[in-house]
Structure 1
């Protein structure tokens, strides 16, 4: 649960909702082939072949702002810098406008390239 304080009080937003929002936004960007499992918990889910729609999304809170880490696979032959810039912009926009949270940073890690 992410808790954010404003002039009206404290708002709690589920991390599951935020992960799904970020995952859907990133996967719909041009050139993104998918998200990669990262960390022990996501690695176990991947080994057990359970469907995990939010793999590759790590959220941490810094004060009232979020820091998002994404681990992605990109399609071979596309401009990686342009893809990363697009993902950063779209994730920041989605979190700010749809969830109403401030974003400190969106870090995108390109782990693989695929055909």
Structure 2
């Protein structure tokens, strides 16, 4: 849960909100086949919840009032991976900053699979 203060009071945003926002922005980029599981916790969630759940492959944390986003993706074979990652970072940063007015410190994109 990300918390910040504005002149009207305290605002709390859940990780599910960020997961949906970031996941939708990343999956809409050309060359992204889907989200990959990002570690053992995601692997366990896949077993329990099935293959599609909101925060699959997305982790958002806060450092010094700025967001740090970690993405695990699957990309299409034969495409330029560097171009795909650049596209994802620009689109995700714009989507998050536009929707929440919070600043994004960095976006770490991990290509876990080539399909």
**Distance in 1, Cα, partners of 2:37 & 2:112:** 10
2:44 maps to 44
RMSD: 1.4
Unaligned runs of 5+ in 1: none
**Distance in 1, Cα, partners of 2:65 & 2:42:** 26
Structure 1 runs of 4+ aligned residues shifted over 6 Å read: none
Deviates more, 1:48-57 or 1:35-44: 48-57
Deviation per CA, 1:32-51, whole angstroms, max 9, x where unpaired? 01111112321112123523
Query: What TM-score, normalized to structure 1?
Result: 0.91
SS at match of 1:110: strand
Alignment length (residue pairs): 114
SS at match of 1:60: strand
SS at match of 1:16: helix
Deviates more, 1:96-105 or 1:38-47: 38-47
Query: What TM-score, normalized to structure 2?
Result: 0.91
**Distance in 2, Cα, partners of 1:105 & 1:49:** 29
Structure 2 CA distance for partners of 1:75 and 1:62, relative to 1, 3 Å? same
**Distance in 1, Cα, partners of 2:49 & 2:13:** 28
Give yes or no for contact 1:57–1:71 (8 Å, CA) kept in 2. yes
Alpha-carbon deviation of 1:53?
3.0
Deviation per CA, 1:18-45, whole angstroms, max 9, x where unpaired? 1100000000100001111112321112
